[in-house]
């Protein structure tokens, strides 16, 4: 079972991603959250195979990455926990296959670029939100496991 964390504050996107994953519950477990704090709490509590991150949260658009409740906050947290953990020392950056596959799905291009830079130690892709494309990326990741 592939465990997926989906971060987005938009109710319509939550509904769209839920529809896209209908019929896949035997392969994918989808956990949906709406805030950076909620995402960080879930990441700290258990491991995910795939993490999907939006940048702009809290009902705002084109938010600077320096704001606290953004996907960038989560991207930096991911990088920090691996830098500081024993797991990071035993799985250096060149061995990225043991870390979650991260999909940045924001429409905020500058925020997306900042997130991709923060995730340099990960296998990460930037795919603007489109549910079927996100599902396809998850299926492709599943083939590599």
**Residue 65, domain extent:** 2-144
**Tell me, what's the pLDDT at 96?**
46
**Tell me, what's the pLDDT at 98?**
62
**Tell me, what's the pLDDT at 6?**
96
Give pTM, 2 decimals: 0.87
Kindly report, residue by residue over 23-58, the tens digit of the pLDDT: 888 889 999 999 999 999 999 998 899 999 999 998
**Tell me, what's the pLDDT at 25?**
84
pLDDT-flagged residues of the chain (< 50)? 86, 88-89, 93-97
**Tell me, what's the pLDDT at 88?**
46
CA distances for 144 relative to 17, 25, 139, 140, 141, angstroms: 22, 19, 9, 7, 5
Distance CA 145, CA 127 (A): 21
CB distance 71 to 104 below 8 Å:
yes
Residue 140 belongs to a domain with what CATH number?
Answer: 3.40.50.2300
Total domains, the chain = 1
DSSP-based three-state secondary structure for 57: coil
């Amino acid at each position: 079972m592939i465990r997926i964390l989906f971060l987005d504050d938009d109710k319509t996107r939550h509904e769209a991603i839920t529809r896209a994953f209908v019929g896949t519950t035997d392969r994918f477990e989808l956990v949906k959250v709406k805030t950076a704090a909620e995402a960080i709490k879930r990441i700290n509590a258990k491991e995910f195979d795939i993490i999907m991150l939006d940048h702009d949260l809290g009902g705002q658009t084109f938010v600077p990455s320096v704001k606290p409740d953004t996907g960038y906050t989560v991207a930096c947290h991911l990088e920090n926990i691996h830098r500081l953990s024993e797991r990071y020392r035993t799985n250096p950056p060149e061995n990225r296959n043991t870390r979650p596959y991260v999909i940045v799905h924001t429409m905020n291009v500058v925020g997306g670029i900042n997130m991709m830079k923060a995730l340099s130690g990960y296998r990460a892709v930037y795919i603007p939100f489109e549910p079927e494309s996100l599902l396809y990326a998850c299926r492709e990741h599943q083939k590599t496991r």
